[in-house]
Structure 1
Protein backbone atom coordinates (compact mmCIF):
# COMPACT_ATOMS: atom_id res chain seq x y z
CA UNK A 1 0.00 0.00 0.00
CA UNK A 2 1.47 3.38 -1.05
CA UNK A 3 0.47 5.34 2.04
CA UNK A 4 1.81 8.68 0.79
CA UNK A 5 -0.13 8.51 -2.48
CA UNK A 6 -3.29 7.36 -0.72
CA UNK A 7 -3.03 10.08 1.95
CA UNK A 8 -2.73 12.79 -0.70
CA UNK A 9 -5.56 11.36 -2.79
CA UNK A 10 -7.82 11.40 0.28
CA UNK A 11 -7.22 15.17 0.65
CA UNK A 12 -7.79 16.16 -2.97
CA UNK A 13 -10.85 18.29 -3.64
CA UNK A 14 -10.04 19.06 -7.29
CA UNK A 15 -7.34 19.01 -9.92
CA UNK A 16 -4.35 21.37 -9.73
CA UNK A 17 -4.53 24.79 -11.35
CA UNK A 18 -1.47 26.50 -12.75
CA UNK A 19 -0.22 29.36 -14.88
CA UNK A 20 3.09 30.16 -16.51
CA UNK A 21 4.57 33.43 -15.22
CA UNK A 22 7.21 35.33 -17.19
CA UNK A 23 8.85 38.27 -15.45
CA UNK A 24 11.23 40.85 -16.88
CA UNK A 25 13.11 42.77 -14.17
CA UNK A 26 11.96 44.69 -12.30
CA UNK A 27 8.83 42.60 -11.63
CA UNK A 28 6.82 41.38 -8.66
CA UNK A 29 3.77 39.17 -8.29
CA UNK A 30 1.62 39.24 -5.13
CA UNK A 31 -0.28 36.01 -4.55
CA UNK A 32 -3.31 35.96 -2.23
CA UNK A 33 -4.07 33.07 0.15
CA UNK A 34 -5.27 29.95 -1.64
CA UNK A 35 -7.38 27.00 -0.58
CA UNK A 36 -4.92 24.14 -0.54
CA UNK A 37 -1.18 24.20 -1.12
CA UNK A 38 0.80 26.43 -3.46
CA UNK A 39 3.80 25.51 -5.58
CA UNK A 40 6.31 27.20 -7.88
CA UNK A 41 8.86 25.76 -10.29
CA UNK A 42 11.62 27.98 -11.67
CA UNK A 43 11.97 27.11 -15.35
CA UNK A 44 14.41 29.86 -16.35
CA UNK A 45 16.36 32.53 -14.47
CA UNK A 46 16.08 33.25 -10.76
CA UNK A 47 13.87 35.16 -8.32
CA UNK A 48 12.88 35.53 -4.67
CA UNK A 49 9.93 34.27 -2.66
CA UNK A 50 8.94 36.66 0.12
CA UNK A 51 6.49 35.22 2.72
CA UNK A 52 3.78 37.70 3.77
CA UNK A 53 1.78 35.73 6.35
CA UNK A 54 4.92 34.33 8.01
CA UNK A 55 7.07 37.36 8.90
CA UNK A 56 9.45 35.12 10.87
CA UNK A 57 10.53 33.49 7.60
CA UNK A 58 13.32 35.09 5.59
CA UNK A 59 12.99 35.70 1.83
CA UNK A 60 13.92 32.57 -0.11
CA UNK A 61 16.25 32.83 -3.14
CA UNK A 62 15.12 30.58 -5.99
CA UNK A 63 17.32 29.46 -8.89
CA UNK A 64 16.60 27.63 -12.12
CA UNK A 65 15.25 24.13 -11.47
CA UNK A 66 14.24 24.92 -7.88
CA UNK A 67 10.85 23.85 -6.56
CA UNK A 68 9.06 25.50 -3.65
CA UNK A 69 5.94 24.17 -1.92
CA UNK A 70 3.74 26.25 0.41
CA UNK A 71 1.87 23.86 2.67
CA UNK A 72 -1.10 26.06 3.51
CA UNK A 73 -1.25 28.32 0.45
CA UNK A 74 -0.29 31.39 2.47
CA UNK A 75 0.14 34.88 0.98
CA UNK A 76 3.52 35.60 -0.56
CA UNK A 77 5.32 37.66 -3.18
CA UNK A 78 7.49 36.44 -6.05
CA UNK A 79 9.87 39.08 -7.39
CA UNK A 80 13.19 39.71 -9.08
CA UNK A 81 14.42 41.24 -5.78
CA UNK A 82 13.10 41.05 -2.18
CA UNK A 83 12.48 44.82 -2.23
CA UNK A 84 10.43 44.89 -5.42
CA UNK A 85 6.73 45.39 -4.61
CA UNK A 86 4.33 42.76 -5.86
CA UNK A 87 1.37 43.52 -8.11
CA UNK A 88 -1.88 41.62 -8.53
CA UNK A 89 -2.49 41.35 -12.30
CA UNK A 90 -6.06 41.76 -13.47
CA UNK A 91 -7.74 38.99 -15.46
CA UNK A 92 -7.10 40.88 -18.70
CA UNK A 93 -3.35 40.27 -18.23
CA UNK A 94 -3.72 36.50 -18.47
CA UNK A 95 -3.45 34.77 -21.83
CA UNK A 96 -5.25 31.49 -22.41
CA UNK A 97 -3.20 29.19 -24.59
CA UNK A 98 -2.65 25.44 -24.52
CA UNK A 99 -1.44 23.65 -22.52
CA UNK A 100 -1.85 26.30 -19.76
CA UNK A 101 -2.43 30.05 -19.53
CA UNK A 102 0.30 32.62 -18.99
CA UNK A 103 0.92 36.08 -17.60
CA UNK A 104 3.78 38.50 -18.35
CA UNK A 105 5.08 40.93 -15.72
CA UNK A 106 7.50 43.83 -16.08
CA UNK A 107 8.72 45.38 -19.31
CA UNK A 108 9.50 42.60 -21.78
CA UNK A 109 11.14 45.15 -24.05
CA UNK A 110 13.27 46.82 -21.43
CA UNK A 111 16.15 44.38 -21.41
CA UNK A 112 15.69 43.31 -17.78
CA UNK A 113 16.68 39.83 -16.70
CA UNK A 114 13.99 37.26 -17.53
CA UNK A 115 12.54 34.71 -15.15
CA UNK A 116 10.02 32.05 -16.10
CA UNK A 117 8.06 30.06 -13.54
CA UNK A 118 5.23 27.59 -13.33
CA UNK A 119 2.97 28.79 -10.51
CA UNK A 120 0.04 26.81 -9.21
CA UNK A 121 -2.18 25.45 -6.51
CA UNK A 122 -3.01 21.93 -5.37
CA UNK A 123 -6.63 21.81 -4.21
CA UNK A 124 -6.42 19.93 -0.92
CA UNK A 125 -8.71 19.77 2.10
CA UNK A 126 -6.52 21.70 4.55
CA UNK A 127 -9.27 21.86 7.18
CA UNK A 128 -8.40 18.26 8.07
CA UNK A 129 -4.96 17.61 6.54
CA UNK A 130 -3.41 14.18 6.80
CA UNK A 131 -0.60 14.20 9.40
CA UNK A 132 2.01 13.55 6.71
CA UNK A 133 1.12 16.98 5.24
CA UNK A 134 0.43 18.69 8.57
CA UNK A 135 3.99 17.93 9.74
CA UNK A 136 5.56 19.72 6.77
CA UNK A 137 7.13 23.15 7.30
CA UNK A 138 5.20 26.10 5.91
CA UNK A 139 7.71 26.50 3.06
CA UNK A 140 9.51 23.52 1.50
CA UNK A 141 12.39 24.59 -0.75
CA UNK A 142 14.01 21.89 -2.88
CA UNK A 143 17.13 23.21 -4.60
CA UNK A 144 18.17 21.82 -7.96
CA UNK A 145 21.86 22.50 -7.34
CA UNK A 146 21.90 20.07 -4.42
CA UNK A 147 21.45 17.25 -6.94
CA UNK A 148 19.74 14.97 -4.42
CA UNK A 149 16.47 14.41 -6.27
CA UNK A 150 17.10 13.36 -9.89
CA UNK A 151 13.50 12.23 -10.48
CA UNK A 152 12.12 15.61 -9.36
CA UNK A 153 14.68 17.42 -11.53
CA UNK A 154 13.74 15.24 -14.49
CA UNK A 155 10.06 16.10 -14.02
CA UNK A 156 10.93 19.81 -13.90
CA UNK A 157 12.95 19.52 -17.12
CA UNK A 158 10.08 17.71 -18.84
CA UNK A 159 7.65 20.41 -17.73
CA UNK A 160 9.95 23.12 -19.02
CA UNK A 161 10.35 21.41 -22.38
CA UNK A 162 6.59 20.95 -22.84
CA UNK A 163 5.84 24.55 -21.85
CA UNK A 164 8.64 26.03 -23.97
CA UNK A 165 7.64 24.06 -27.05
CA UNK A 166 4.06 22.73 -26.87
CA UNK A 167 3.43 19.90 -29.32
CA UNK A 168 0.90 17.17 -29.98
CA UNK A 169 -0.12 15.69 -26.63
CA UNK A 170 1.14 18.58 -24.48
CA UNK A 171 -2.36 19.36 -23.22
CA UNK A 172 -2.51 15.91 -21.64
CA UNK A 173 1.15 15.62 -20.62
CA UNK A 174 1.46 18.92 -18.72
CA UNK A 175 -1.48 18.39 -16.30
CA UNK A 176 -0.26 14.83 -15.60
CA UNK A 177 3.26 16.08 -14.84
CA UNK A 178 1.90 18.81 -12.55
CA UNK A 179 -0.23 16.23 -10.76
CA UNK A 180 2.77 13.91 -10.29
CA UNK A 181 4.94 16.79 -9.12
CA UNK A 182 3.17 16.84 -5.74
CA UNK A 183 4.27 13.28 -4.97
CA UNK A 184 7.80 14.02 -6.15
CA UNK A 185 7.95 17.09 -3.87
CA UNK A 186 6.73 15.30 -0.76
CA UNK A 187 8.84 12.21 -1.39
CA UNK A 188 11.93 14.39 -1.82
CA UNK A 189 11.27 16.24 1.44
CA UNK A 190 10.61 13.02 3.38
CA UNK A 191 13.80 11.43 2.04
CA UNK A 192 15.79 14.52 3.03
CA UNK A 193 14.96 14.05 6.71
CA UNK A 194 17.66 12.44 8.90
CA UNK A 195 17.21 8.79 9.83
CA UNK A 196 16.91 9.67 13.51
CA UNK A 197 14.15 12.24 12.96
CA UNK A 198 10.78 11.68 14.59
CA UNK A 199 7.66 11.96 12.47
CA UNK A 200 6.25 10.54 9.26
CA UNK A 201 9.57 10.53 7.41
CA UNK A 202 10.67 7.81 9.83
CA UNK A 203 7.24 6.20 10.38
CA UNK A 204 6.91 5.25 6.70
CA UNK A 205 10.13 3.24 6.80
CA UNK A 206 10.20 2.14 10.44
CA UNK A 207 10.25 -1.70 10.70
CA UNK A 208 7.69 -1.66 13.52
CA UNK A 209 5.35 1.19 12.59
CA UNK A 210 5.32 0.88 8.78
CA UNK A 211 3.71 -2.61 8.77
CA UNK A 212 0.97 -1.40 11.13
CA UNK A 213 0.28 1.65 8.95
CA UNK A 214 0.17 -0.58 5.87
CA UNK A 215 -2.34 -2.89 7.57
CA UNK A 216 -4.62 0.02 8.54
CA UNK A 217 -4.52 1.48 5.02
CA UNK A 218 -4.84 -1.87 3.28
CA UNK A 219 -7.86 -3.06 5.30
CA UNK A 220 -9.40 -0.14 7.22
CA UNK A 221 -12.60 -2.12 7.80
CA UNK A 222 -10.84 -4.85 9.80
CA UNK A 223 -11.44 -5.03 13.55
CA UNK A 224 -7.96 -3.78 14.42
CA UNK A 225 -6.80 -3.51 18.01
CA UNK A 226 -3.54 -2.31 19.49
CA UNK A 227 -2.71 -5.95 20.19
CA UNK A 228 -3.33 -7.17 16.64
CA UNK A 229 -1.31 -4.30 15.17
CA UNK A 230 1.49 -4.91 17.66
CA UNK A 231 1.72 -8.52 16.45
CA UNK A 232 2.55 -7.21 12.96
CA UNK A 233 5.19 -4.90 14.39
CA UNK A 234 7.02 -7.59 16.32
CA UNK A 235 6.85 -5.52 19.51
CA UNK A 236 4.94 -5.84 22.74
CA UNK A 237 1.64 -3.98 22.98
CA UNK A 238 3.09 -1.22 25.18
CA UNK A 239 6.31 -0.80 23.18
CA UNK A 240 4.39 -0.67 19.89
CA UNK A 241 1.91 1.90 21.19
CA UNK A 242 4.75 4.15 22.40
CA UNK A 243 6.69 3.84 19.15
CA UNK A 244 3.62 4.46 16.98
CA UNK A 245 2.52 7.51 18.99
CA UNK A 246 6.01 9.02 18.93
CA UNK A 247 6.41 8.77 15.16
CA UNK A 248 2.85 9.23 13.89
CA UNK A 249 1.87 11.88 16.45
CA UNK A 250 -1.19 10.09 17.84
CA UNK A 251 -2.03 6.65 19.30
CA UNK A 252 -2.80 3.72 16.96
CA UNK A 253 -6.56 3.67 17.59
CA UNK A 254 -6.81 7.45 17.15
CA UNK A 255 -5.06 7.21 13.79
CA UNK A 256 -7.28 4.29 12.76
CA UNK A 257 -10.38 6.35 13.51
CA UNK A 258 -8.95 9.38 11.71
CA UNK A 259 -8.23 7.33 8.60
CA UNK A 260 -11.64 5.66 8.63
CA UNK A 261 -13.34 9.05 8.88
CA UNK A 262 -11.15 10.43 6.09
CA UNK A 263 -12.19 7.55 3.83
CA UNK A 264 -15.84 7.96 4.83
CA UNK A 265 -15.72 11.67 3.95
CA UNK A 266 -14.17 10.92 0.55
CA UNK A 267 -16.83 8.28 -0.20
CA UNK A 268 -19.55 10.74 0.78
CA UNK A 269 -18.05 13.50 -1.39
CA UNK A 270 -17.16 11.48 -4.44
CA UNK A 271 -19.74 8.69 -4.69
CA UNK A 272 -23.40 7.87 -4.27
CA UNK A 273 -22.91 4.63 -2.34
CA UNK A 274 -25.46 4.12 0.48
CA UNK A 275 -24.49 5.01 4.04
CA UNK A 276 -24.58 1.34 4.99
CA UNK A 277 -21.92 0.66 2.35
CA UNK A 278 -19.80 3.56 3.63
CA UNK A 279 -20.11 2.10 7.13
CA UNK A 280 -19.07 -1.38 6.01
CA UNK A 281 -16.05 -0.10 4.07
CA UNK A 282 -14.81 1.89 7.05
CA UNK A 283 -15.23 -0.68 9.81
CA UNK A 284 -18.67 0.17 11.24
CA UNK A 285 -21.42 -2.43 11.52
CA UNK A 286 -24.35 -0.02 11.23
CA UNK A 287 -25.22 3.38 9.82
CA UNK A 288 -25.84 4.57 13.37
CA UNK A 289 -22.33 3.61 14.49
CA UNK A 290 -20.86 5.40 11.48
CA UNK A 291 -23.00 8.49 12.05
CA UNK A 292 -22.00 8.74 15.69
CA UNK A 293 -18.28 8.50 14.90
CA UNK A 294 -18.54 10.81 11.89
CA UNK A 295 -20.43 13.51 13.75
CA UNK A 296 -17.88 13.39 16.56
CA UNK A 297 -15.09 14.05 14.05
CA UNK A 298 -16.78 16.45 11.62
CA UNK A 299 -19.54 17.98 13.71
CA UNK A 300 -22.18 17.02 11.17
CA UNK A 301 -24.06 13.85 10.25
CA UNK A 302 -22.87 11.92 7.14
CA UNK A 303 -25.99 12.79 5.14
CA UNK A 304 -25.61 16.49 5.90
CA UNK A 305 -21.93 16.37 5.00
CA UNK A 306 -22.75 14.77 1.65
CA UNK A 307 -25.36 17.44 0.87
CA UNK A 308 -22.94 20.25 1.79
CA UNK A 309 -20.17 18.74 -0.33
CA UNK A 310 -22.46 18.44 -3.35
CA UNK A 311 -23.70 22.01 -2.95
CA UNK A 312 -20.20 23.47 -2.74
Structure 2
Protein backbone atom coordinates (compact mmCIF):
# COMPACT_ATOMS: atom_id res chain seq x y z
CA UNK A 1 0.00 0.00 0.00
CA UNK A 2 1.57 3.31 -1.09
CA UNK A 3 1.26 6.62 0.74
CA UNK A 4 -0.65 9.63 -0.68
CA UNK A 5 2.45 11.47 -1.91
CA UNK A 6 3.72 8.38 -3.72
CA UNK A 7 0.32 7.94 -5.37
CA UNK A 8 0.26 11.55 -6.56
CA UNK A 9 3.84 11.47 -7.88
CA UNK A 10 3.08 8.26 -9.79
CA UNK A 11 0.22 10.03 -11.53
CA UNK A 12 2.44 13.01 -12.34
CA UNK A 13 5.10 10.73 -13.92
CA UNK A 14 7.94 13.25 -13.46
CA UNK A 15 10.94 13.23 -15.75
CA UNK A 16 13.98 15.50 -15.47
CA UNK A 17 15.52 16.98 -18.62
CA UNK A 18 18.86 18.78 -18.41
CA UNK A 19 19.05 21.84 -20.67
CA UNK A 20 22.44 23.40 -20.20
CA UNK A 21 25.56 23.43 -18.07
CA UNK A 22 26.92 26.97 -17.96
CA UNK A 23 30.60 27.62 -17.23
CA UNK A 24 31.60 31.27 -17.51
CA UNK A 25 33.99 33.99 -16.37
CA UNK A 26 33.69 37.73 -16.76
CA UNK A 27 30.50 39.67 -17.55
CA UNK A 28 27.46 37.56 -18.40
CA UNK A 29 23.69 37.78 -18.15
CA UNK A 30 20.84 35.65 -19.49
CA UNK A 31 17.18 36.61 -19.88
CA UNK A 32 14.87 33.61 -19.73
CA UNK A 33 11.48 33.72 -21.50
CA UNK A 34 8.16 32.95 -19.86
CA UNK A 35 7.42 29.23 -20.03
CA UNK A 36 4.65 26.79 -19.14
CA UNK A 37 7.15 24.21 -17.87
CA UNK A 38 8.56 23.60 -14.40
CA UNK A 39 12.17 24.72 -14.64
CA UNK A 40 15.11 24.41 -12.25
CA UNK A 41 18.48 26.07 -11.75
CA UNK A 42 21.30 24.80 -9.53
CA UNK A 43 24.36 26.97 -8.87
CA UNK A 44 27.39 24.68 -8.59
CA UNK A 45 30.08 27.35 -8.29
CA UNK A 46 30.17 31.11 -7.77
CA UNK A 47 27.57 33.84 -7.27
CA UNK A 48 24.93 35.39 -9.52
CA UNK A 49 22.22 38.03 -9.31
CA UNK A 50 18.70 36.65 -9.64
CA UNK A 51 15.82 38.85 -10.79
CA UNK A 52 12.33 37.36 -10.54
CA UNK A 53 9.12 39.26 -11.38
CA UNK A 54 7.58 40.88 -8.33
CA UNK A 55 10.47 39.92 -6.03
CA UNK A 56 13.52 41.83 -4.85
CA UNK A 57 16.78 41.06 -6.64
CA UNK A 58 18.94 38.66 -4.64
CA UNK A 59 22.24 36.83 -4.93
CA UNK A 60 22.37 33.09 -5.57
CA UNK A 61 25.47 31.34 -4.22
CA UNK A 62 27.06 27.91 -4.59
CA UNK A 63 24.56 25.19 -3.71
CA UNK A 64 21.44 27.33 -4.17
CA UNK A 65 18.52 25.67 -5.93
CA UNK A 66 15.60 27.38 -7.67
CA UNK A 67 12.49 25.72 -9.10
CA UNK A 68 9.63 27.59 -10.80
CA UNK A 69 6.40 26.45 -12.42
CA UNK A 70 5.19 28.45 -15.44
CA UNK A 71 7.53 31.36 -14.70
CA UNK A 72 7.24 34.77 -16.28
CA UNK A 73 10.33 36.31 -17.89
CA UNK A 74 13.28 36.38 -15.46
CA UNK A 75 17.02 37.02 -15.49
CA UNK A 76 20.34 35.90 -14.03
CA UNK A 77 23.74 37.54 -14.44
CA UNK A 78 26.92 38.77 -12.84
CA UNK A 79 25.61 42.33 -12.40
CA UNK A 80 22.72 44.58 -13.36
CA UNK A 81 25.01 46.53 -15.72
CA UNK A 82 25.60 43.57 -18.05
CA UNK A 83 23.30 43.45 -21.08
CA UNK A 84 21.54 40.05 -21.12
CA UNK A 85 21.35 37.62 -24.01
CA UNK A 86 18.06 35.81 -24.58
CA UNK A 87 17.92 32.11 -23.77
CA UNK A 88 16.06 29.70 -26.04
CA UNK A 89 15.27 26.35 -24.40
CA UNK A 90 16.37 23.40 -26.56
CA UNK A 91 13.71 20.96 -27.77
CA UNK A 92 15.70 18.01 -26.41
CA UNK A 93 18.65 17.33 -24.14
CA UNK A 94 21.88 18.96 -25.35
CA UNK A 95 24.62 16.57 -26.38
CA UNK A 96 27.32 18.65 -24.73
CA UNK A 97 27.84 21.37 -22.16
CA UNK A 98 27.14 24.96 -23.07
CA UNK A 99 30.32 26.80 -22.10
CA UNK A 100 30.39 30.57 -22.32
CA UNK A 101 33.75 31.69 -21.03
CA UNK A 102 36.60 34.14 -21.45
CA UNK A 103 39.83 32.25 -20.71
CA UNK A 104 41.77 35.50 -20.35
CA UNK A 105 39.45 36.85 -17.66
CA UNK A 106 40.58 36.87 -14.05
CA UNK A 107 36.98 37.13 -12.87
CA UNK A 108 35.61 34.36 -10.63
CA UNK A 109 34.19 31.27 -12.33
CA UNK A 110 30.43 30.76 -12.34
CA UNK A 111 28.80 27.40 -13.06
CA UNK A 112 25.18 26.29 -13.10
CA UNK A 113 22.92 23.48 -14.22
CA UNK A 114 19.57 24.32 -15.78
CA UNK A 115 16.69 22.25 -17.05
CA UNK A 116 13.08 21.34 -16.61
CA UNK A 117 10.79 18.70 -15.17
CA UNK A 118 8.14 17.25 -17.45
CA UNK A 119 4.88 15.86 -16.04
CA UNK A 120 1.82 14.07 -17.32
CA UNK A 121 -0.28 17.03 -18.45
CA UNK A 122 -3.48 15.22 -17.48
CA UNK A 123 -2.57 15.74 -13.83
CA UNK A 124 -0.90 19.16 -13.76
CA UNK A 125 -3.58 20.35 -11.35
CA UNK A 126 -2.15 17.97 -8.75
CA UNK A 127 1.28 19.58 -9.10
CA UNK A 128 -0.15 23.01 -8.32
CA UNK A 129 -1.68 21.55 -5.16
CA UNK A 130 1.71 20.26 -3.99
CA UNK A 131 4.25 22.95 -4.84
CA UNK A 132 4.14 26.76 -4.88
CA UNK A 133 5.01 28.49 -8.14
CA UNK A 134 8.50 29.37 -6.83
CA UNK A 135 10.68 27.21 -4.57
CA UNK A 136 14.05 28.52 -3.39
CA UNK A 137 16.32 26.35 -1.25
CA UNK A 138 19.81 27.39 -0.21
CA UNK A 139 22.64 24.96 0.44
CA UNK A 140 22.55 25.93 4.13
CA UNK A 141 18.75 26.20 4.44
CA UNK A 142 17.56 24.97 7.83
CA UNK A 143 15.77 21.62 7.61
CA UNK A 144 16.96 20.89 4.07
CA UNK A 145 19.90 18.59 4.86
CA UNK A 146 18.79 15.81 2.50
CA UNK A 147 18.12 18.31 -0.28
CA UNK A 148 21.58 19.82 0.26
CA UNK A 149 23.21 16.38 0.00
CA UNK A 150 21.49 15.72 -3.32
CA UNK A 151 22.46 19.15 -4.63
CA UNK A 152 26.10 18.43 -3.81
CA UNK A 153 25.93 15.04 -5.57
CA UNK A 154 24.33 16.66 -8.62
CA UNK A 155 27.03 19.30 -8.85
CA UNK A 156 29.79 16.71 -8.64
CA UNK A 157 28.17 14.33 -11.14
CA UNK A 158 27.46 17.06 -13.69
CA UNK A 159 31.00 18.34 -13.96
CA UNK A 160 32.99 15.10 -13.65
CA UNK A 161 31.56 13.73 -16.90
CA UNK A 162 31.84 10.08 -15.88
CA UNK A 163 30.26 7.31 -18.00
CA UNK A 164 26.52 7.16 -17.46
CA UNK A 165 26.42 10.64 -15.91
CA UNK A 166 23.40 11.77 -17.95
CA UNK A 167 21.30 8.91 -16.58
CA UNK A 168 22.57 9.43 -13.02
CA UNK A 169 21.75 13.15 -13.21
CA UNK A 170 18.21 12.43 -14.43
CA UNK A 171 17.59 9.99 -11.56
CA UNK A 172 19.11 12.34 -8.96
CA UNK A 173 16.93 15.19 -10.20
CA UNK A 174 13.81 13.05 -9.92
CA UNK A 175 14.76 12.08 -6.36
CA UNK A 176 15.51 15.74 -5.66
CA UNK A 177 12.00 16.68 -6.79
CA UNK A 178 10.45 14.37 -4.19
CA UNK A 179 12.81 15.62 -1.49
CA UNK A 180 11.81 19.20 -2.34
CA UNK A 181 8.17 18.16 -1.96
CA UNK A 182 8.94 16.59 1.41
CA UNK A 183 10.77 19.72 2.50
CA UNK A 184 7.82 21.89 1.53
CA UNK A 185 5.49 19.71 3.59
CA UNK A 186 7.72 19.42 6.63
CA UNK A 187 9.18 22.93 6.78
CA UNK A 188 6.65 25.11 4.94
CA UNK A 189 3.34 23.54 6.03
CA UNK A 190 2.20 26.74 7.77
CA UNK A 191 2.90 28.77 4.62
CA UNK A 192 1.46 26.63 1.83
CA UNK A 193 -1.82 24.75 2.38
CA UNK A 194 -2.22 21.52 0.41
CA UNK A 195 -1.59 17.79 0.46
CA UNK A 196 1.93 18.13 1.87
CA UNK A 197 0.74 20.36 4.69
CA UNK A 198 -1.99 17.81 5.41
CA UNK A 199 0.53 14.97 5.60
CA UNK A 200 2.54 17.01 8.12
CA UNK A 201 -0.50 17.22 10.43
CA UNK A 202 -0.99 13.89 12.29
CA UNK A 203 -4.80 14.05 12.40
CA UNK A 204 -5.27 15.20 8.83
CA UNK A 205 -2.62 12.74 7.64
CA UNK A 206 -4.61 9.85 9.14
CA UNK A 207 -7.67 10.97 7.17
CA UNK A 208 -5.70 11.44 3.93
CA UNK A 209 -4.12 8.00 4.28
CA UNK A 210 -7.56 6.44 4.75
CA UNK A 211 -9.29 8.05 1.78
CA UNK A 212 -6.30 7.55 -0.53
CA UNK A 213 -6.15 3.86 0.33
CA UNK A 214 -9.89 3.32 -0.16
CA UNK A 215 -11.34 5.94 -2.55
CA UNK A 216 -14.28 3.65 -3.41
CA UNK A 217 -15.64 3.72 0.14
CA UNK A 218 -18.85 5.65 0.83
CA UNK A 219 -17.05 8.40 2.73
CA UNK A 220 -18.74 11.24 4.60
CA UNK A 221 -17.36 14.06 6.71
CA UNK A 222 -18.35 12.03 9.78
CA UNK A 223 -16.46 8.89 8.71
CA UNK A 224 -13.43 10.92 7.65
CA UNK A 225 -13.48 12.70 11.01
CA UNK A 226 -13.57 9.31 12.73
CA UNK A 227 -10.50 8.22 10.74
CA UNK A 228 -8.78 11.39 11.92
CA UNK A 229 -9.86 10.82 15.53
CA UNK A 230 -11.60 14.18 15.79
CA UNK A 231 -15.11 15.57 16.09
CA UNK A 232 -16.93 16.32 12.86
CA UNK A 233 -16.94 20.11 13.23
CA UNK A 234 -13.36 20.42 14.45
CA UNK A 235 -12.12 18.08 11.73
CA UNK A 236 -13.93 19.85 8.87
CA UNK A 237 -12.56 23.24 9.88
CA UNK A 238 -9.04 21.94 10.48
CA UNK A 239 -8.96 20.03 7.17
CA UNK A 240 -10.00 23.12 5.22
CA UNK A 241 -7.39 25.27 6.96
CA UNK A 242 -4.53 22.83 6.38
CA UNK A 243 -5.36 21.36 2.96
CA UNK A 244 -7.03 24.43 1.48
CA UNK A 245 -10.42 22.95 0.58
CA UNK A 246 -13.21 21.00 2.34
CA UNK A 247 -12.68 17.25 2.86
CA UNK A 248 -15.42 16.08 0.48
CA UNK A 249 -14.16 18.42 -2.22
CA UNK A 250 -10.65 17.00 -1.80
CA UNK A 251 -12.07 13.47 -2.04
CA UNK A 252 -13.89 14.37 -5.26
CA UNK A 253 -10.73 15.88 -6.73
CA UNK A 254 -8.70 12.77 -5.92
CA UNK A 255 -11.36 10.45 -7.32
CA UNK A 256 -11.45 12.42 -10.56
CA UNK A 257 -7.64 12.28 -10.84
CA UNK A 258 -7.79 8.50 -10.46
CA UNK A 259 -10.61 8.37 -13.00
CA UNK A 260 -8.58 10.32 -15.58
CA UNK A 261 -5.71 7.89 -15.18
CA UNK A 262 -7.95 4.84 -15.55
CA UNK A 263 -9.65 6.36 -18.60
CA UNK A 264 -6.23 6.83 -20.24
CA UNK A 265 -5.53 3.15 -19.57
CA UNK A 266 -8.74 2.03 -21.27
CA UNK A 267 -10.56 0.83 -18.14
CA UNK A 268 -14.33 0.54 -18.63
CA UNK A 269 -16.55 3.32 -17.28
CA UNK A 270 -18.44 0.90 -15.04
CA UNK A 271 -15.18 -0.29 -13.44
CA UNK A 272 -14.00 3.29 -12.98
CA UNK A 273 -17.32 4.26 -11.42
CA UNK A 274 -17.07 1.45 -8.86
CA UNK A 275 -13.41 2.23 -8.08
CA UNK A 276 -14.30 5.89 -7.47
CA UNK A 277 -17.22 5.22 -5.14
CA UNK A 278 -20.17 5.64 -7.53
CA UNK A 279 -23.12 3.28 -7.68
CA UNK A 280 -23.60 3.56 -11.44
CA UNK A 281 -21.69 4.45 -14.59
CA UNK A 282 -24.23 7.16 -15.40
CA UNK A 283 -23.86 8.78 -11.98
CA UNK A 284 -20.09 8.78 -12.36
CA UNK A 285 -20.26 10.21 -15.90
CA UNK A 286 -22.44 13.10 -14.74
CA UNK A 287 -20.09 13.88 -11.83
CA UNK A 288 -17.03 13.60 -14.07
CA UNK A 289 -18.45 15.96 -16.70
CA UNK A 290 -19.42 18.46 -14.02
CA UNK A 291 -15.96 18.40 -12.43
CA UNK A 292 -13.71 18.06 -15.50
CA UNK A 293 -15.82 19.90 -18.07
CA UNK A 294 -16.21 17.06 -20.57
CA UNK A 295 -17.61 13.50 -20.58
CA UNK A 296 -15.22 10.60 -19.88
CA UNK A 297 -15.36 9.49 -23.52
CA UNK A 298 -13.56 12.67 -24.61
CA UNK A 299 -10.43 11.57 -22.73
CA UNK A 300 -10.30 8.09 -24.20
CA UNK A 301 -7.04 7.43 -26.09
CA UNK A 302 -7.47 7.24 -29.85
CA UNK A 303 -7.80 3.73 -31.23
CA UNK A 304 -5.33 2.66 -33.91
Same fold (TM over 0.5): yes
Q: Is 1:288 aligned to 2:282, yes or no?
A: yes
Relative to structure 2, which stretch is displaced further, 183-192 or 103-112?
103-112
Q: Is the 8 A contact 1:279 1:287 kept in 2?
A: yes
Q: Which of 272, 275, 296 does residue 278 from structure 1 map onto?
A: 272
Q: CA deviation at 1:107?
A: 3.5
Query: SS at the partner of 2:36?
Result: coil
Query: SS at the partner of 1:17?
Result: strand
- How far, CA to CA, are the matches of 1:237 and 1:131 in structure 2? 28
2:260 corresponds in structure 1 to 265
Change (3 A) 1:255 1:144: same
Matched residues, number: 298
Query: SS at the partner of 1:77?
Result: strand
1:298 corresponds in structure 2 to 292
Q: Which runs of 5+ in 2 are unaligned?
A: none
Q: Is the 8 A contact 1:70 1:139 kept in 2?
A: yes
Query: SS at the partner of 1:16?
Result: strand
1:171 corresponds in structure 2 to 166
Query: SS at the partner of 1:78?
Result: strand
1:128 corresponds in structure 2 to 125
Q: Is 1:5 aligned to 2:6, yes or no?
A: yes
Q: Which of 123, 137, 140 does residue 145 from structure 1 map onto?
A: 140
2:45 corresponds in structure 1 to 44
Q: CA deviation at 1:160?
A: 1.6
Q: Is the 8 A contact 1:220 1:283 kept in 2?
A: yes
Q: Which runs of 5+ in 1 are unaligned?
A: none
Query: SS at the partner of 1:152?
Result: helix
Moved over 4 A (4+): 89-92
2:229 corresponds in structure 1 to 234
Change (3 A) 1:291 1:85: farther
- How far, CA to CA, are the matches of 1:66 and 1:157 in structure 2? 10
Give me the TM-score of the superposition, normalised by structure 2.
Answer: 0.86
Q: CA deviation at 1:34?
A: 2.4
Query: SS at the partner of 2:237?
Result: helix
